[in-house]
Amino acid sequence: MKNALRKRKLISAVILALLTSSCAEEPLVKPTEPDDSVVPYSDTLAGPGQTDNLPGHKPLTGIYAQYLPVKNFIRHMVRSHGFSEDYLNGLFSNATRLESVLRLENAQGYQGPVTPKPGSWTRYRKQFLTDAHINNGVEFWSNNADTVQKASATYGVDPEYIIAIIGVETFFGRNVGKTRTFDALATLAFDTQRRSKFFTTELENFLLMSREEGLPARETVGSWAGALGLGQFMPSSFRSLAVDFDHDGKRNLWQPHDAIGSVAHYFSKNGWQVKQPVTELIRGNAGASSITLSTDHGNEYWRVHPNFKVIKKYNNSDKYAMAVHQLAQAIKQQYVSTAISRY
């Protein structure tokens, strides 16, 4: 009887041990099935996230917290380009809507017929055909003569037009803009309608450019519309046409060497024909091959050539292209005269 009782106790102990062991191996919470709709990302791909010192692992907050287009944009950047969601949430949570950018964009929104005001070309010309622009253009050319000559020879672009673009765009680097590019592009992409698609694409390119070039996205500044550097490249143009002309491993359009090379490359890719005419003054309107500019003393008529249209790829304005052309010629004339007087 005692042996039978001991045997039953022994069997009970063994069963209890087995049950205890089984429970210890069972997880407290079963793992969920993987969600195929979520694309994993890697923090190591975030690029400038470390530079910006933005806190991670936080939800989207701030002015864009309830913006579905912003959330969709972040999702797109994570899935398509491997950005960290935490990094992008941090960027947009710290974004500022720029009222000054909204005012400038809205001011350009009128799409109806425009009647040119008499003398509009005279007034426009006075902004750029100044002694200061010409003298500083000659100085900029002299200070960067080797780079200008190299860029001209490499890309087949007349040097005076490289100089003139930088003069018209930023007064040779003095006016590159002080607006935070991320805030400007976010405002234009998500708080306007007329060109929101264009600026959303530019914002995408800006974030990619920031990662590729190691630039802190929250600190980079430029024009109110997102243009960057001495040559005022939009981010998409920066990524496709900017060059590392001094071969230091970076495309830095805020310094002359890369800016000069990049402007020349831009012209070359858009079909510039070296040593070919740009435009000349004619007696009357010649149809599609000419333009009309209003001066204080009546209209001027100019025959335009393919190179004139290349300048307009930079800014689709006849007055802009003419200002670049005439500034280029004025700088060249004084540069040559200065060089001759030295000998």
Q: Give the active site residues.
A: 169
What backbone phi and psi angles, to 5 degrees, belong to 302? Answer: -130, 130
Closest by CA to 293, choosing from 43, 163, 116, 113, is: 116
**Amino acid of residue 112:** G
CA atoms within 13 A on the CB side of 53: 1
Distance CA 157, CA 339 (A): 21
Closest by CA to 261, choosing from 245, 240, 237, 247, is: 245
- Determine contact, residues 48/215, Cβ cutoff 8 Å: yes
DSSP conformational letter for 63: G
DSSP conformational letter for 280: E
- Determine contact, residues 190/63, Cβ cutoff 8 Å: no
Q: Calculate ∠ Cα 223-229-230, nearest 5°.
A: 105
- Determine contact, residues 88/74, Cβ cutoff 8 Å: yes
- Determine contact, residues 201/208, Cβ cutoff 8 Å: no
Copy the structure tokens of residue 204.
């995408």
71: CB partners within 8 A, 6+ apart: 60
